[in-house]
Amino acid sequence: MAGGRRRRQHFSRIHAFSCGKASFKGEHSLIGGPGFSRVVHCNDPDSFEAGVLNYGSNYVRNTKYTLATFFPKSLFEQFRRVANLYFLLCAILSFTPLSPYSALSNVLPLVLVIGVTMGKEALEDWRRKKQDIEVNNRKINVHRGNGVFDNAKWMDLKVGDIVKVQKDEFFPADLILLSSSYEEAICYVETMNLDGETNLKLKQALDATSNFPEDTSFQTFKAVINCEDPNANLYSFVGGLQLEEQQYPLTPQQLLLRDSKLRNTDFIYGVVIFTGLDTKVMQNSTDPPSKRSKIEKRMDKIVYYLFSVLVLMSFIGSIFFGISTSEDLENGRMTRWYLRPDDTTIYYNPKRAPVAAILHFLTAVMLYSYLIPISLYVSIEIVKVLQSVFINQDLHMYYEEADKPAHARTSNLNEELGQVDTILSDKTGTLTCNSMEFIKCSVAGTAYGHGVTEVERALAWRKGTPLAQEVTDEEAQVEDSTEARTSVKGFNFIDERVTNGNWVNEPHADVIQKFIRLLAICHTAIPEVDEETGGISYEAESPDEAAFVIAARELGFEFYERTQTSISLHEFDPISGRKLERTYKLLNILEFSSSRKRMSVIVRNKEGKLLLLCKGADSVMFERLAKNGSEFEEQTKEHINEYADAGLRTLVLAYRELDEEEHNEFNMEFTKAKNSLSTDRDEMIEEVAEKIERNLILLGATAVEDKLQSGVPECIDKLAQAGIKIWVLTGDKMETAINIGFACSLLRQGMKQIVISSEGPEIKALEKAGDESAVAVAFKANVLRQISEGKELLTTSSENSEALALIIDGKSLTCALDDDVKDMFLELALGCASVICCRSSPKQKALVARLVKIRTGNTILAIGDGANDVGMLQEADIGVGISGVEGMQAVMSSDIAIAQFRYLERLLLVHGHWCYRRISSMICYFFYKNIAFGFTIFFFEVYASFSGQAAYNDWYLSLYNVFFTSLPVIALGVFDQDVSARLCLKFPLLYQEGVQNVLFSWIRILGWALNGVLTATLIFFFCIRAMDHQAFRKGGEVVGFEILGTTMYTCVVWVVNCQMALSINYFTYVQHLFIWGGIIFWYIFLLGYGAMDPSISTTAYKVFIEACAPAPFYWLLTLFVLVSSLIPYFTYASIQLRFFPMYHQMIQWIRTDGQSDDPEYCHMVRQRSLRPTTVGYTARFEATSKRFEERSEGH
């Protein structure tokens, strides 16, 4: 239908809003004042007036760097690491005579480390840049003048441009709707990327602009819009349009937001009012943060402590050196004659001993730099990149259906995946598939539908569940039925008693007929006929409404046409057995709202009867039943409870017949309320509807499955068993969010709910009075009261060990996040087993993430799939984007992208645990080997009278961390496993080792540091005592300085590599190659480097081949020192494993003893729970069993 307009449909008569009509009362009087100063010259963006305003371009970027800022910002990132800053200082000093080693051997490793890390940062940011280029270069039709529209790039749009958006295209900026392909200038918009909702929103242009049906209409169009300044509020807009000297008020009804999508409308025309960073979606986003893991931050603290030790050692050494130097020349006698104190440089001048001591301090600061591992950072970078490759290539996280693997977009946070304390999850598209399925119903007190929900299936397979066989039988029955029919999206109802017209044989066939007819009529869906196939699809305002219409069609009542005054069906006639066309005159629609919790339609049938058809939540429907209309109430309530326990969304269906006089009176009041322009218009409509929606006759209830993504309940259960808390933050209504909470077992029957809601009678009364300041004060007091009551309930439940759930809506959350309230709110939230925040704006999601992260200090993971989740993903310690069906905004701003929520289980419990363990062990070992090496240098300094002489050759020093000991650590960081992936998932509690940081605690770090000092002590003193006066070579020569250095270095290389071999849990050929290869490479290096010219090899010249290798003492001493140095660690590890095993060691026992399949033994290990599981289907099953036992005892 592109190019033409659709026929007029009087939606103002169908929907309870006044089409394009409003007044300049209230907020519109603020236009032109502070905060409302934006002026848009429509269709004239290049005019002088528009140019003076200088609004921003439509270019957006999500990158961390630009070309200009990359080097300064990236260098800042590198040198904010204290170790790199220290090494830079040492590199500068290495060019002075103070240096104890050559400049080249010092500068080269630093340049390598910084270069590799900056290259990695550049590569990651380039990927983000490519995604930005794709978005900014999308095409859109823009008016170029004279009624001609031409393609332009999104980034070239200006404020005031007229654009034409086609069906299924995204809006390139924030627009004001001018007209559309419908005559009444309406359009349907999908805002999933903004608020997570999949239901379509109806927008309508002003009457004044609705008569611009085609491109040429804009040839002479000129108008001026005055409106609010850019802000983050998605749900409000205040503005006015001046057209031909007439003023028209603009409301959110005309606002089309960037990143929402045009649906069910061939095209629209709109004028750009906010571009780029001024758009509401970008106002809700934050700059990409520079995230660092908690382990890396603690690692910096260790470096600070080591640096403090280094300075202390240098200070002590310089004092002793100063004293010794001052005593070198007394009364013409020389104590250390070999230094020639009577003819020396300033560095050893006894007459200027204080200066010599200060200069020695600088030399010592450089010499002891090997205490701090320069290759630590670059090694960790390499390991994290390789870990990310393994994450990306994990076939268990590959979604074959959409061909989407997991994608670690940044590798900085791998170990954080093993320390997550709280998950903040979006709902729509993250937990759910955005599809509803009609699965069961209760009609006339009889339950129909054999379908098994995911929650029932998950519960049934728990060990000891009596339903298991029953559910298995039902599933088999369902599978047999589904083989015979083709799958229909939205309809998963199997019951031969009702399908294929068999309902006519049921005892209450007349009630079933009314029930299905109500489903086909009571809605606001629009039918779309496929011209090629003739099939009918439906565009509905909510996915469950679409499921009802589809269910009615499948059961014989096909809705096929809607006009402004009628609804037409193909109805199954029980008498003739054929389908008949029936038209119902549509008189009124009473819309659904979160306060009403129901919707109704009033129609006149062919016989002239007036019918009110109503569907709504059980909490409001049962109280509206007539005395003679509640025949099936008890059975229906029982079925509803069963459905709710199975995680299904339920609605109650009822009807009544109206007489003419009652309807005429209602219609007059309803029309008057609809056309009212006062602030309490909605309340007036509700009051009128309340009067007629009573004395209803109950028909039954529907049960719709808000289809969870595959594996969500199981995943949440595993994460809950691992001790991870899960919060849901959604833009959806409270009822929807609660239903999903039940579906994925975050909520369960019997769990007390603390509901903090903005819907209260006293608040509504104040809003009616129009006193905004009084409303704000009362509203905050109301929220505080509800939080205080919740805290009291929390105290009571803690004594009774009951689990609580906190549910809060968006308005209340705004108050709860105020500075003086947020601590109370957080205390309450942290005490609850589940937290669900409804109607949350993107900004609120980000603020909640910030609050939990900062106040608890724990690791927070946020997961979402839409642009509305970007702020939350960036604010959390880890942002996980779901690469779902709609848009890539969340993925572009995330740290890790996965295709399905269920992959979070493996990402955290397997990869997270492994990465945390590997990085922790790797860092501890790094500091151990460098302390062991650095203290041998210090002890030699003491032995050599703090002369500043290095114990080892320059290149021995430089290559220690690069070649001889680094590769085994990298192998540890990439390949080591304490337990297998299968056991990680079987014993999810193992994950708590990371949450509680037991593998990188200060005690563990200190233990490794002491081990390093002990190793250095044993190596140095054994070597020095054994070689001090001992004849070493055949000719009787004693050991020289170069032989002592080489022997000590050999012992260090052997000990630290064998220590690594003892620490590894899971050997691969790579580890063997790197550990033993590192030792062999040391000997090869000695041969090669020693063979070079003495001017190059200096003290290493032929030291191995001529001195060390021929001497048996060299080999015996190496073996003796090796064994002696490893005995302390081996003894400690054996005692700890035998008497104080850690959780992973217990699981290793199970695997070693072959008891991993012994249920009793595994259960005993699981009982070492660090916190009780309060959510998930395991907790749900335990709670149900407990209730059952209590009932049994009661009887």
Catalytic residue IDs: 426
* Residue 226 to residue 208: CA distance in whole angstroms: 16
CB atoms within 10 A of CB 119: 12
CB burial of 764-781 (b: ≥16 within 10 Å; e: otherwise) equals bebbeeeeeeebeebbbe
Q: What is the DSSP letter of 1028?
A: S
Q: How far apart, in Å, do the first and last CA atoms of the chain sit?
A: 68
CB atoms within 10 A of CB 1: 12
Query: Helices in 899-959 by DSSP H: which ranges?
Result: 903-906, 913-943, 954-959
* Residue 889 to residue 282: CA distance in whole angstroms: 11
3-state secondary structure at position 7: coil
Report CA-CA distances (Å) from 181 to 15, 212, 1072. 19, 10, 71
* Residue 122 to residue 130: CA distance in whole angstroms: 12
Tokens of 85: 């800053």
Name which of 994, 989, 722, 728 is nearest 859 in CA terms: 994
Helix axes 375-392, 82-93, angle to 10 degrees: 140
How many CA atoms, within 13 angstroms, populate the side-chain half-sphere of residue 546? 22
User: Strand ranges (DSSP E) for 691-789?
Assistant: 697-708, 725-729, 752-756
Cβ-based neighbours of 564, under 8 Å, separated by 6 or more: 8, 9, 10, 11, 13, 14, 586
Per the CB < 8 A criterion, the answer to whether 358 and 318 are in contact is yes
Per the CB < 8 A criterion, the answer to whether 968 and 1069 are in contact is no
Per the CB < 8 A criterion, the answer to whether 875 and 884 are in contact is no
What's CA 1007's distance to the chain center, in Å?
35
Tokens of 173: 């900026």
User: Strand ranges (DSSP E) for 321-362?
Assistant: 329-330, 333-334
* Residue 973 to residue 922: CA distance in whole angstroms: 6
Per the CB < 8 A criterion, the answer to whether 1059 and 1126 are in contact is yes
Phi, psi (rounded to 5 degrees) for 147: 75, 15
Secondary structure of 20-47 as H, E, C letters: CCCCCCHHHHHCCCCCCCEEEEECCCCC
Name which of 700, 438, 705 is nearest 548 in CA terms: 438
3-state secondary structure at position 63: coil
Beta bridge partners of 744: none
List % helix, strand, coil for the chain (3-state, nearest 5).
50, 15, 30
In the chain, the largest separation of any two C-alpha atoms, in whole Å, equals 133
Phi, psi (rounded to 5 degrees) for 187: -155, 160
* Residue 274 to residue 173: CA distance in whole angstroms: 6
Tokens of 581: 């066309």
* Residue 1095 to residue 1107: CA distance in whole angstroms: 19
* Residue 755 to residue 758: CA distance in whole angstroms: 10
Name which of 2, 23, 14, 22 is nearest 184 in CA terms: 14
Helix axes 294-326, 913-943, angle to 10 degrees: 0
Pairing label, strands 174-180, 255-256: antiparallel
* Residue 1177 to residue 1163: CA distance in whole angstroms: 17
